[in-house]
Amino acid sequence: MAEAESIIGTPDIPEAEGHEGAEPERNEGAGSPDGRAVGPAAADGDGAAVVDRSAATRRRRIILLFCVAVLAYLLDLGSKMLVVAKLEHQEPVEIFGSWLRLDAIRNAGAAFGIGEAFTIIFTIIAATVIVVIARLARKLYSLPWAIALGLLLGGALGNLTDRIFRAPGTFQGAVVDFIAPAHFAVFNLADSAIVCGGILIVILSFKGLDPDGTVHKD
């Protein structure tokens, strides 16, 4: 019997990896040279999210930043034009009784009427903020940061437009404010965008999220 088995032989059974006829084992980490999966939802060996730093992602974030900025700027500009045309030199319009009114005023200071004696300084600060945001956009990969910077940019541009083009003169113009809550300073939509963007940036900073999408823990 042993001689018969040696003559007939037994069929080859692919038991080891790489044996002819065996199904090759899949490499779950394929997709990048270092074995990491690629894409926005990828994770490294420690379970931390891997930031998608592709040029396409940065381009989308920059587009979002400028879309938010343009929307905030146009809303602010349009509201100011309407207020100047319809409400300036008129009696305040009550929205919620005495709790919220529309009252057109000219503000030579910063947001919420602060520092009226330093108009030119606030103009320079607004221009500096715009330059800083433009520089940050070059390494922007975070979606929340794109929204926050867009709000800041739109608000700064809105008030800077007033500084440049409104009376009493170039870079000394008074900003148009018209939202007047009870027991609070009068402000405009640009001020609101700046404050909302600033609050969002503070929250992101506390969470340890940087503009480039990385997360750090102190």
- 191 classed as catalytic: yes
Report d(CA 178, CA 176) in Å as an integer: 7
Q: Tokens representing 102?
A: 């529309």
Please pick, among 44, 191, 212, 218, the residue that the annotation labels catalytic: 191
On the question of a cis peptide bond just before residue 11, with omega within 30 degrees of 0, the verdict is no
Question: What is residue 189's three-state secondary structure?
Answer: helix
- 44 classed as catalytic: no
Please pick, among 177, 210, 212, 218, the residue that the annotation labels catalytic: 177
- Could you give the residue ranges of the DSSP H alpha helices within 137-188? 143-165
| Axis-axis angle for helices 189-207, 55-86 (nearest 10) | 150
Q: Tokens representing 97?
A: 């009784």
- Give the residue numbers annotated as catalytic, written as ranges: 177, 191
